Amino acid sequence: MTPPNNEQESASTPRHVAIVMDGNGRWARERELPREQGHQHGRIKLHDVVRAFSERGVRFLTLYAFSTENWRRPSEEVQGLMTLAAEAIKQDAPRLHQEGARLLHLGRKDRLDPDIAAAIDRVVDVTKDNTGITLSVAFDYGGREEILEAARSLMRDGVAADNVDESAFESRLFTNGLPDPDLIIRTGGELRISNFLLWQAAYAELYFTPTLWPDFGPQEVTKALDSYAARKRRFGGVEGE
């Protein structure tokens, strides 16, 4: 994954894309397979999708892999997703590292299996100086919880109310140091944000596709980026100002 050239890095290319990867269960059901197989096929897609975004000049990609609400799923499914996370760290992370990707984790680690938490820390550390795409994986992540934790942290540190501005707040979010997402994609046909990047999504363009996550490939990446390129972003201002 080479850094984008100046031509690629234009206003029509989002700097940061974030994805709600939905539809694994339905993909499996359509094939009369267990839900776990849907997640497994979803995992297999990760590398190609990261590469496709990187080649199109996207510098930051964030994937919603496990939400704070996903703990409510049947324990076998939760366990299956944990196993997939371990596999992704073992198989995908080394390839991504070789290609120059920097990996980050967004979310809580205290509820994860200690071996998985330690493996995440290692991958983040090993890739920290890479200069290619920054891939953040939201795993045990919830937007409301992130906001509450930032508020708690400000209070714990005794920050005066008048000093609580956007930058003080943002520095206490999991996404500290990342630009806000320009484009949020949700696969699987649902039209909602599901507790993902609630603060950071303030001015994001939204793109919803009925394509189920295991079917989301490089062609779908192109469609989403073309849709973004056709948008006019005004950030609350007036066009042309």
Catalytic residues: 22, 70
> Using the rule CB under 6 A, which residue among 61, 85, 120, 225 binds ligand FPP?
85
Main-chain dihedrals φ then ψ at residue 55, nearest 5 degrees: -65, -25
Total number of residues that touch ligand FPP (CB under 6 A): 18
Give the shortest CB-175-to-ligand FPP separation in angstroms.
18
Say whether 148 sits in a helix, a strand or coil.
helix
Q: Is 108 in the site for ligand FPP (CB under 6 A)?
A: no
Contact 97, 126 (CB under 8 A): yes
Applying the rule CB under 6 A, the residues between 172 and 201 that interact with ligand FPP are 188
Nearest distance in Å: CB 124, ligand FPP: 14
Among 47-55, 80-88, 113-121, 222-230, the segment contacting ligand FPP (CB under 6 A): 80-88
103 lies in the site for ligand FPP, by CB under 6 A = no
Closest residue to ligand FPP, based on beta-carbon distance: 25
Give CA–CA dist 113/98, Å, rounded.
26
Locate 122 and state its tokens. Answer: 């290692």
Contact partners, residue 138, CB within 8 Å, separation at least 6: 62, 63, 64, 65, 66, 67, 106, 107, 174, 196, 197
Give the span between the Cα atoms of 17 and 180, in whole angstroms: 9
Q: Which of 91, 102, 85 is nearest to 1 (CA)?
A: 102
Query: What pairing do the DSSP bridges indicate for beta strands 134-141 and 60-67?
Result: parallel
Q: Which DSSP letter does residue 49 get?
A: H
- Residue numbers 9-38 binding ligand FPP by CB under 6 A: 21-26
Query: By rule CB under 6 A, what string of x and - marks binding of each residue 112-151 to ligand FPP?
Result: -------------------------x--------------
Asked whether the beta carbons of 211 and 23 are under 8 A apart, the reply is yes
Q: Under the criterion CB under 6 A, does residue 88 sit at the interface with ligand FPP?
A: yes
Residue 68 contacts residue 145 (beta carbons within 8 Å)? yes
Among 53, 174, 207, 213, binds ligand FPP (CB under 6 A): 213
Position among 84, 93, 138, 178 found at the interface with ligand FPP (CB under 6 A): 84
Beta bridge partners of 161: none
Binding residues (CB under 6 A) for ligand FPP: these are 21-26, 39, 42-43, 65, 70, 81, 84-85, 88, 137, 188, 213
